[in-house]
Structure 1
Amino acid sequence: MQLLKPELNSLIQKEALDLFYKNGYQATLMRDLAAAVGMSVGNTYRYYKSKHDLFTTLVQPVHEKLVELLEATHDNPEAHFNELCLTTIMTRFTAICSKYHKESVIFLEYYLAQEDDPVIQNFRGLIYRTVKAHLPQITMPMFDLLYHFIATGTVFVLRKSAPENIVSNLKLLYVFLFKDVKDRINAL
């Protein structure tokens, strides 16, 4: 039996990350990955049982960091909507997106298209409870709009910004979305 080679596994992950980032999850084919790595499609399945298994491996660091971040606010969402806590949360989120740039993009794009997935439902639910605790007058359509702006805005910034501008552009986006949000919602 042939042993799996760590250096080949690393190459598979690198090429898969580039392909998922360039083409998206749905448009990335295992045969394209195999061609990029220079191996047979069948051999790629010795390393990963499916495309989704490979994808999950690639985004696992982002998922773990986001879960840690969200669970830190889970016990008392009301306490985490003040400006200092929001700044801290957004700074940590921005650091995750900056450190795991491509992984964050493919994670967010994939799960934004999977509305019924438990990962995204938990993520949305936690954000909704946090926002609702501090802004009880927010309606579900208003929240859906805010959530859409956060998620798609983050992906847009990650895709369009030069690496050295990602942090400042994400902060600009979040300030735009959250500064005086109470007053803006109350004005409606």
Structure 2
Amino acid sequence: MAQFLKEEIRKRIIKSAIKEFSEKGYDRSSIKSIAKGADISVGNLYRYFENKEDLLREVIEPVFGELAQMINAENILSDMDYKGYIYNKLNRFLDLYIANKSIFFVVIDGCKGTKMGNIIDSFTDMLADNIQKLISKFNIGDLINVWGFSRALAVAVIQGTISILRDSSDEDVKANFFQYISFLMNDFDQRLEKI
């Protein structure tokens, strides 16, 4: 019974932290407000989390751990239908985003200055690795700096995605996102050959 209560309190703290970080950003959020939102004392909150940054990590890691697994490039070359593979991954990404929208915006808008502050750069590098592996699938010999080119494309995808997530309603986000990705990927292999 006691373990159930501890888990319930932990969930309330995380829920309150998500709300606080979403509304105020990490910098302006306070442990006192998070504890109040969880209906516990500040001292009790510190029994569960060492500090505010530890709480931020707990909020972010489950969602972004799953996202990191999705971005993992290991299977991109195993399937000849790379577009189908990519669209499947992107659809899973959007489902994850819709289910965890507030956590995504905590990361996008409010982690600077924390240990989690470089998470967007980390995901950009992972995506660039995927793009580099995809480019190598087409044996493009004339591309001088494949990593630089891949990272530039990854930045475009990440920043474009953030813009779409920020500016689209929940009803329109998938259509807008897939329109953007389709534009970027249309004849990708043929355009690579022209470089």
**Both structures adopt the same fold (TM-score exceeding 0.5):** yes
Q: 1:31·1:41 contact (CA, 8 Å) conserved in 2? A: yes
Structure 1 partner of 2:45: 44
**Aligned counterpart for 2:159 among listed residues 143, 148, 152:** 152
Aligned CA distance change for structure 1 residues 22 and 130 (closer, same or farther; 3 Å): same
Corresponding residue for 1:26?
27
Is the 1:78–1:134 Cα contact (8 Å) retained in structure 2?
Answer: yes
**Counterpart amino acid of residue 160 in structure 1:** D
Aligned to 1:174: 181
Give the deviation of 1:129 after TM superposition: 2.7
Moved more, 86-95 or 123-132: 123-132
Unaligned runs of 5+ in 1: none
Unmatched 5+ stretches in structure 2: none
Q: Does 1:9 align with 2:10?
A: yes
Contact 1:59–1:103 (Cα < 8 Å) also in 2: yes
Distance 1:38 1:117 in 2: 28
Answer with 1 or 2: which has the greater Rg: 2
Shift of 1:151: 2.0
**Offset at 1:169?**
2.4
Counterparts of 1:121-160 in structure 2, within 5 Å, are 123-135=123-135, 136=140, 137=143, 139-160=146-167
Query: What's the CA shift string for 1:145-186, capped at 9, x where partnerless?
Result: 322222233233333322222222222232233223344455
How many Å separate the matches in 1 of 2:188 and 2:109?
26
- TM-score normalised by the chain length of structure 1: 0.73
Counterparts in 2 of 1:54 and 1:163: CA distance versus 1, 3 Å = same
Identity %: 22
- 1:25–1:170 distance in 2 versus 1, CA, 3 Å: farther
In 1, the alpha carbon distance for the partners of 2:119 and 2:13 equals: 25
Q: Does structure 2 conserve the Cα–Cα contact (< 8 Å) formed by 1:105 and 1:155? A: no
How many residues are treated as equivalent by the alignment? 185
Higher alpha-carbon deviation: 123-132 or 81-90:
123-132
Mapping 1:94-109, distance limit 5 Å: 94-109=94-109
Distance 1:109 1:181, change over 3 A: farther
Stretch of structure 1 that moved more, 83-92 or 6-15: 6-15
Distance in 1 of aligned mates of 2:7 and 2:129:
43
Relative distance call for 1:19 and 1:159 in structure 2 (3 A) is: farther
CA distance in 1, matches of 2:125, 2:42: 39
Q: Structure 2 length normalisation: TM-score?
A: 0.71
Query: In structure 2, what residue type is equivalent to 1:78?
Result: L
Match of 2:60 in 1: 59
Q: Any idea what the Cα deviations from partners look like across 1:101-137, whole Å, max 9, x if unmatched? A: 2223324556788799886666444322321233252
Aligned equivalents of 1:69 and 1:61: distance in 2?
A: 13
